[in-house]
Amino acid sequence: MKSILSLLFFLLSSCVGPVEGLYPPLTKDKRYTIHIVNHGWHTGIIVKRSQVKPYLTALKNEFLNDHYLEIGWGDANFYQSGGNNYSHGLTALFWPTDSVLHIVGFSENPVEKFLFSELVELKISEKGFQNLLKFINSSFFLAAASTSERLSLGLYGKSWFFKSKLSYHMFNTCNHWTAEAIRETGFPISTFYTITAGNVIYQLKKQ
């Protein structure tokens, strides 16, 4: 069974190439640096706070004094419990559930901030960066005034959970969301086989 799954993954992932004109960035293009961090259950996307305007409008009034934002997405109950409530985790897989975004603001260099976590750096084009931010922004639930809705304190540092308008389920998991966001940059990542954070990182590193 493991061999069959490995073969299926290879066949599907090998069909996913870079999006021409987006990735890799052309020599003349302005390049943006993002990082993907592996937290075990979840992955986070790290961007510079100063570069997100005007595309990440959901956070226009949030984390203004921080240099970086780490952004993750997942099931509302499981994520906010810190990944310790496995009954919530099972429910999230088999029935569509509410979801949240986890946003962390910080100013240290990402390599130093996540010294004991697996971290991958990507260089992407300006258009790819814009597409990434638009995808993330579209995941927020926005109130009448087009502002994001805080729900609870986050898991570490200066962080908050925000309400998302998306549904979490077996075919739209936290790491699938990360892979979809990365795919918006034009990077050749398969969104099919992204159940685990480790697979997201594996695909990023093999390019």
Distance CA 201, CA 199 (A): 5
Residue 184 falls within a domain, yes or no?
yes
Q: 0.75 exceeded by the pTM?
A: yes
Question: Is 10 within the bounds of a domain?
Answer: no
| Domain of residue 146, residue span | 21-205
pLDDT mean over 76-90: 69
The answer to whether the beta carbons of residues 194 and 175 sit under 8 Å apart is: yes
Residues of the chain with pLDDT > 70: what percent?
A: 87
Residue 90: is its pLDDT beyond 70? no
Classify residue 13: in a domain, yes or no: no
3 domain residue, yes or no = no
pLDDT the model gives residue 146: 78
Instruction: Indicate if the pLDDT at residue 134 is higher than 80.
Output: yes
Strand partners, 97: 168
Find out whether the peptide bond into 24 is cis, omega within 30 degrees of 0: yes
Span 164-175, mean pLDDT? 92
In a domain, 7, yes or no: no
CA–CA gap between residue 120 and residue 191 (Å, rounded): 17
Q: Which two tokens mark 126?
A: 């300006």
Q: Does some domain include residue 182?
A: yes
Structurally, the chain folds into a number of domains equal to: 1
Q: Residue 25 domain-assigned?
A: yes
Higher pLDDT pick, 146 / 7: 146
Question: Residue 69: beta bridge partners?
Answer: 47, 105
105 within a domain of the structure (yes/no)? yes
